[in-house]
Structure 1
């Protein structure tokens, strides 16, 4: 690993170990601590290791982690059980940056494909969670889940869920705001930028009641365009670039999850990797905020 990645992982480990409440184990504690586990998960996502067995074989030759599970199932079991801790790490890292209280959010969704063949769909343990959806950006159908990401214009993740692709995006956004009302309350006059999929009078009323403004393109044959719509073309490209970071650099589409817990933790594994890079770049004053180039090799 490069010196830059070593520095980032060291800072990440110290942050998690100092600020998060790791699990209190009954009896003998595990030899691989929770802080080390999350640090390993972030490093795995950054370096693009899809195969956990191959990742563990490589890490055993490193002195940075005194102990690693000898078998992949043990590591996988620990990682799936640490999903809550990974989510806490995402929020803690994001809140530790000067971008956290940005009064502008960008929201969009992207497919997380989980299977392609009909036989795989029939026997998948994701039945009841995943479903068929349509990706307009690539004009294709897929079977899987949908990642709904709310982030700042700099790409810093604020909140995110995985959902059935048939659930309306507008319902997801309303549920996110209702589930964590303090996020919007701490940002008076919050502005959310979205695409045409979020057009709905009911959603507008819901957001207005909470002092939140929603800016999205208007249909050409419906109503008068808003004055600020001309700025959306430039700003909307930001969320596309965030999704491209998750899929292009962090291999979101190669998650390899076969259960809802597996998909959840593998998607969550990529989000703290991006959040950690932004957090570290802001801390050291790097010229590009959302850049993983110095850490992905």
Structure 2
């Protein structure tokens, strides 16, 4: 628990290098903690793998931040700061990945219930555009009901961008958004992203993105993917199970 103060101070110092703002929205009464300090607490909790507010406030009770904010106020302010937190995340990513030219694209299933309960499930059905759907997971050779998480990360493990779609959406449709966010780089993907049309589209678009995927053995002019690319593509699978999404 004693590490929290040092981690918080370091993260807050780095955040102040990224933005000159301490508060992002009007408050009638000035709080003890600024918005940026609250964001620093949130990132510190992520770094320490603290996955509940109850556990976080046990840590805070033994730190210099004891009594600086109530749990209910922290929760309410954190939700209001979601968009600002995302903007800060993008600034951090831009700094970490400034010199990166090779990225890894992958996806994973987000199952919300078993297939047998899919028709009765009411989860996430408040709005028609966000309805979950049935999809196929090639790595597990099974169908599931829910969503699909798409992500792009650098070979060093820093996530550049991510998105969620319904399970029925194919992997390559995520790349249509990527070309508006990245440029002059190489994307490494598995065979699920194999598409000559998509590869040509990404390269010809102003983004100048090269998509490198392993070829099928029966393809014309078959060439084995470079070892360094095949080795790098294993990294996201480890991050999915235990890594921190930055």
TM over 0.5: yes
- The aligned counterpart of 1:32 is 33
Query: After superposition, where does 1:130-145 map in structure 2 within 5 Å?
Result: 130-145=132-147
Higher RCO (C-alpha under 8 Å, 6+ residues apart): 1
Structure 2 contact 5–64 (Cα < 8 Å) conserved: no
Matched, 1:244 2:218: no
- Distance in 2 (CA, whole Å) between partners of 1:110 and 1:174 is 18
Matched, 1:215 2:212: yes
Structure with bigger gyration radius? 2
* Higher share of residues assigned strand: 2
Structure 2 residue runs without a partner (length 5+): none
- The aligned counterpart of 2:82 is 83
Calculate the TM-score normalised by the size of structure 1: 0.69
* Match 1:196 to one of 188, 191, 195: 191
- Shift, 1:234, TM fit: 1.4
Query: After superposition, where does 1:1-297 map in structure 2 within 5 Å?
Result: 1-3=1-3, 6-20=5-19, 21=21, 22-64=23-65, 66-71=67-72, 74-97=73-96, 99-116=97-114, 118=117, 122-125=121-124, 128=128, 129=130, 130-178=132-180, 180=181, 183-184=182-183, 188=184, 190-210=185-205, 211-226=208-223, 228-246=225-243, 270-272=244-246
Calculate the TM-score normalised by the size of structure 2: 0.81
Structure 1 contact 215–229 (Cα < 8 Å) conserved: no
Query: Partner of 2:179: helix, strand, or coil?
Result: helix
Query: Partner of 2:64: helix, strand, or coil?
Result: coil
RMSD: 2.8
Structure 1 residue runs without a partner (length 5+): 247-269, 273-297
- Shift, 1:215, TM fit: 0.9
Deviations 1:127-154 (A, max 9, x none): 5423333333334444433221111111
Paired residues in the alignment total 238
Shifted more, 102-111 versus 34-43: the winner is 34-43
